[in-house]
Structure 1
Amino acid sequence: MITPPALAACIRMAAATYHVPSAAITAEISAPKPPDAVGIMGIPPAWLPELAGRGFDPAEVSNSACVNVRAGAMILSMTPGHNAAISSAADSIPAPIRAIVLEAVRLYDVAPARVVAVLHSFHPAGSLGPMGIPRAWVPTLAANGFDLSRLESDPGYAAAAGVWILGVERLGRMQTYSLPAARFSPIPPAWLLDIAAPIARQHGLPLALVLAVAAQESGFRPGIESPVGAVGLMQLMPATATRFGVSNRRDATQSLEGGAAYLEHLKSVFAGNLPLMLAAYNAGSKAVIDHGNRIPPFRETQNYVPAVLARYRYYQRTLGGQEVVASATPATAKPAPRADHQSKVTTP
């Protein structure tokens, strides 16, 4: 059964995703429900085919409290009179990408008709995804936290990136747009919230930061292994795992403990400078220090840091918790007690 803190986090995240008051979600959870209602939100069974068409797995809607809350929040957002323009545009959006496009439309405040027009317009050869993103936008997308590999392989994700571009063009200034690809970060499962929260507190870190690193590193998949040998939720290399007492890198709790301990160490080494902490987590402390306490000029690391920062801001906003104060100027790093070998960067 989901714990009250984990449920509260799910409610906050669903409310932020669909722009529905948390109180409305809580009221639905508390309301009497007919016998055939699905899950804690009391979703009518007739909604399950519609939810499936919008990207929800009916089995998860039935069995996962967090997914049920998210699905119920989406239903609340689509009731008559709420976001009517978005609802009317839904049928013009291809079913496989409909749910994520509708979420992006709400989040980035883009006219649904504009998105539909772009989806159904001519796209030149070489453009990316259903929205026909010009390749010239790729560096900007990378700098704002989008995963370039997913742009190539995931049509829904690429479509959401296209909606983001429309939002940026409407606002006219990139720096005023504060919530990029992080909105499409994986939702932390309840079991992960339960074990990550006390670990984050123990190491003096915000829960949002630990989740952001885990989301970026593994997508919350405990058994994943990278081509260079990093393993687990926090993608620990063998030497780093040994250094921080992790005997089984595929064990979720041990991986979180080791990754959080390593982040706590980096916080001390780099005087709380969060970008440098993250750069060191990806490329190793030595690489950061050797480059004058700057983010090393490795493409992977320079993409990694803004991506994790974007995820951190998103989880911080939706889950709450303490802020980490990152220096605005480069930190003067303390000498590391001994060289770490966490670098996962394969090419500069």
Structure 2
Amino acid sequence: MIENIVTTFITNKKMQFEQKMSNPLQFVSNAKKQMFQRELETAIQVEKVVQPAVKQTMRANETESVKEYERRFSIAPDTWKLGSKYNIQSINPEYENMYIDIIKEMSQKYGVPVKLIQKMIETESHFRPNTVSHAGARGLMQLMPVNIREHGVTDPHDPRQNIEAGVKEISGYLKQYKGDLILSLAAYNAGPGNVRKYGGVPPFRETENYIKKILNVDVRA
């Protein structure tokens, strides 16, 4: 009899303990419940504030990653549709990847096609950043002293500074001549003053050859 009473008592205690473990909040004091409730509400409020900020940061990072991918791998813009209007000549394959990140970046920034920038650099300097011409033109895109000053270039032999100044220069001529690449290249090579003076491509053998190399166009009268 006593054994049965003890067994029943232990069984009841065990059931109470298991019940407490399955839902302990039922057995804590009201004060404890209120404290837990406040902590839960605080956590929910923090989540409401923090979660959108985290999502926004993630979206910003994703956008930046997409931009970086496009900068490095996508086809750059061609504001004046030069690729379809002109037969821009291909460069020697050995130069294909030289300074390509800088070239793509400046292509995106100024709307000048990568192929044109590459061909101009090949024609100007054969991708040698330390080249100096007999006339004092310097670097990859052969910037003249006046262009170096005009574009605020501090080191004309620095590839980034030189390429940006050169692309900015040809972009300016394309705007001035409404997308006429032949006149723009003539101005880049011989100066806009000579284009104005002769009413078109100046009759200089160097300028004529320059345009021929880049576009395979004979501009001689």
Fold conserved (TM > 0.5)?
yes
Q: Is the 2:111–2:171 contact (alpha carbons within 8 Å) kept by the matching residues of 1?
A: yes
Q: For 1:235 and 1:245, locate their aligned partners in 2 and report how far apart those are by CA, in whole Å.
A: 15
Count of aligned pairs: 139
Output the amino acid matched with 2:125: S
> Which residue of the other structure, out of 199, 203, 217, is the alignment partner of 1:297?
203
Q: For 2:72 and 2:166, locate their aligned partners in 1 and report how far apart those are by CA, in whole Å.
A: 25
1:6, CA displacement in angstroms?
10
Q: For 2:166 and 2:87, locate their aligned partners in 1 and report how far apart those are by CA, in whole Å.
A: 25
- The sequence identity of aligned pairs, in percent, is 35
The structure that has the greater radius of gyration is 2
Specify whether residues 8 and 204 from structure 1 end up closer, same or farther in structure 2 by C-alpha distance, changes over 3 A only. closer
Q: Does 1:202 align with 2:112?
A: no
> Which residue of the other structure, out of 291, 295, 309, is the alignment partner of 2:215?
309
Q: Which residues of structure 1 form unaligned runs of 5+?
A: 10-177, 312-348
Q: Is the 1:218–1:232 contact (alpha carbons within 8 Å) kept by the matching residues of 2?
A: yes
Q: Does 1:256 align with 2:163?
A: yes
Tell me the SS of whatever aligns to 2:94.
Answer: coil
Query: More helix per residue: 1 or 2?
Result: 2
Partner of 1:241: 148
RMSD between aligned alpha carbons? 2.8
> Which residue of the other structure, out of 210, 218, 230, is the alignment partner of 2:137?
230
Q: For 1:306 and 1:243, locate their aligned partners in 2 and report how far apart those are by CA, in whole Å.
A: 28
Output the amino acid matched with 1:210: I
1:259, CA displacement in angstroms?
0.1
Q: Is the 1:186–1:219 contact (alpha carbons within 8 Å) kept by the matching residues of 2?
A: no
Partner of 1:286: 193
TM-score, normalized by length of structure 1? 0.37
> Which residue of the other structure, out of 150, 155, 177, is the alignment partner of 1:270?
177
Q: For 1:242 and 1:222, locate their aligned partners in 2 and report how far apart those are by CA, in whole Å.
A: 18
Q: Is the 1:221–1:233 contact (alpha carbons within 8 Å) kept by the matching residues of 2?
A: yes
Specify whether residues 7 and 242 from structure 1 end up closer, same or farther in structure 2 by C-alpha distance, changes over 3 A only. closer
Q: Which residues of structure 2 form unaligned runs of 5+?
A: 1-67, 75-85
Tell me the SS of whatever aligns to 1:187.
Answer: helix
Partner of 1:125: none
The 5-angstrom pairing of residues 63-78 of structure 1 reads none
Q: For 1:245 and 1:291, locate their aligned partners in 2 and report how far apart those are by CA, in whole Å.
A: 29
TM-score, normalized by length of structure 2? 0.56
